[in-house]
Amino acid sequence: MPPTKACNSHTDQTLEIKQVLDAQLYWTDALLRCPACGQYRLAELIDMQAGERLFRLTAVSQAGAQAVLRSIETGSCDLQRAQTELDYLGNTGQLCDEVLLVEGDQQQTCTWPSGLSLPTASWRELACDGALLDALKRAHSIRS
């Protein structure tokens, strides 16, 4: 399946954070929602440097995202339920061809440069040394 766009509403609206899933001084994984079209995205950190964060985006189903949010909110006697649902959501979602660049409260989606491999590993397994951010900025002539 070819990658999908981060949002089909073609709006510059900021994606809403519906649920932070992991954090390390700043959110690293979250479920996001477009306020214009209602589409959900799973955002996962892939690089960071000097206050900037770069996130991989995965398109996920609305029903699946809402089930995860409900499980987190209500809890369950099965302590792994929400994590299991979240894992399923990420595994069945469709990787977007856009990434999310965040600096402070400013967000920008950018098409991932062709010819560069988009990492699929957790941020804990990646260098997170700014190299991916630098490559993205060079490809799109973005200034720091």
The answer to whether 32 and 15 have CB atoms below 8 angstroms apart is: yes
* Sheet containing 27-33, strands listed edge to edge, beginning at the edge strand earlier in sequence: 16-23, 27-33, 40-49, 52-60, 94-103, 106-111
Q: What is the pLDDT of residue 11?
A: 58
Q: What is the pLDDT of residue 3?
A: 46
Q: Which of 69, 22, 19, 61 is nearest to 39 (CA)?
A: 61
The answer to whether 30 and 43 have CB atoms below 8 angstroms apart is: yes
* pLDDT digits 0-9 by tens, 72-85: 888 777 777 777 88
The whole-number average pLDDT for the span 21-28 is: 90
The whole-number average pLDDT for the span 106-111 is: 90
**What does pLDDT average to over the chain?**
87
The whole-number average pLDDT for the span 9-14 is: 65
Backbone phi and psi for residue 89, each to the nearest 5 degrees, phi listed first: -60, -50
Give the chain's radius of gyration (CA, Å): 15
Q: What is the pLDDT of residue 80?
A: 79
Instruction: Pull the structure tokens for residue 133.
Output: 């951010």
Q: What is the pTM of this model?
A: 0.87
Q: In the chain, what percentage of residues exceed pLDDT 70?
A: 90
